Chains A and B, each alone.
Chain A
Amino acid sequence: MEPIRTDFTGYEGQFVAIDARTGEIVLADQDLLVVLEQAKGRNHVVVHGRVPYADEPLYVGMG
Chain B
Amino acid sequence: MAASRTRMSRSMSAWADAPPLPWLYPYREDAQSTRLGEPVFRPFVPISLVHGDQSVWQLTGLVDTGADAILASNLLAEPLGIDLADNEGESTHAVGGRVLTSQYKTIGLQLHPSDAAEDVYLEWQAPVGFVEGWHSDGLVLLGSIGFLNRFTVTASRFAQAVAVEDRDAFDERFGTTLSA
- Chain A interface residues (CB < 8 Å from chain B): 1-6, 8, 11, 16-18, 20-21, 23, 32-33, 36-37, 39-52, 54, 56, 58-59, 61-63
Evaluate contact between A50 and B31: CB separation under 8 angstroms.
yes
Evaluate contact between A54 and B66: CB separation under 8 angstroms.
no
Evaluate contact between B93 and A5: CB separation under 8 angstroms.
no
Cβ of B58 within 8 Å of any chain A Cβ, yes or no, is yes
Evaluate contact between A47 and B57: CB separation under 8 angstroms.
yes
Evaluate contact between B118 and A43: CB separation under 8 angstroms.
yes
Specify the chain A residue showing the minimal Cβ separation from B143.
A62
Evaluate contact between A48 and B57: CB separation under 8 angstroms.
no
Which chain B residues lie closer than 8 Å to A3 at the CB level? 26-29, 41, 160
Which chain A residues lie closer than 8 Å to B100 at the CB level? 63
Specify the chain B residue showing the minimal Cβ separation from A53.
B33
Specify the chain B residue showing the minimal Cβ separation from A11.
B31
Which chain A residues lie closer than 8 Å to B159 at the CB level? 1
Q: Number of B interface residues at 8 Å Cβ cutoff, please give it.
A: 48
Q: Number of A-B pairs whose CB atoms are under 8 Å?
A: 130
A48-B59, A52-B33 known; 5 new pairs, CB 8 Å cut-off, are A1-B24, A43-B116, A46-B57, A49-B31, A49-B60
Evaluate contact between B116 and A45: CB separation under 8 angstroms.
yes
Alpha-carbon separation in the docked complex, A62 to B46 (Å) = 18
8 Å CB contact of B26 from A4, A39, A52 = A4
CB neighbors of A among B48-102 (8 A): 56-60, 64, 66-67, 71, 73, 75, 78-79, 93, 95-96, 100
Name the distance in Å between A57's Cβ and chain B's nearest Cβ: 8
Alpha-carbon separation in the docked complex, A3 to B155 (Å) = 13
Evaluate contact between A23 and B160: CB separation under 8 angstroms.
no
Among B11-19, B129-137, B169-177, the one that faces the other chain is B129-137
Contacts A1-B159, A40-B57, A44-B115 given; does A23 touch B28 at CB 8 Å:
yes
| Residue of A5, A42, A47, A56 ringed by the most chain B CB atoms within 10 A | A47
8 Å CB contact of A46 from B60, B73, B143 = B60
Evaluate contact between B160 and A52: CB separation under 8 angstroms.
no
Alpha-carbon separation in the docked complex, A27 to B143 (Å) = 27
Cβ of B117 within 8 Å of any chain A Cβ, yes or no, is yes
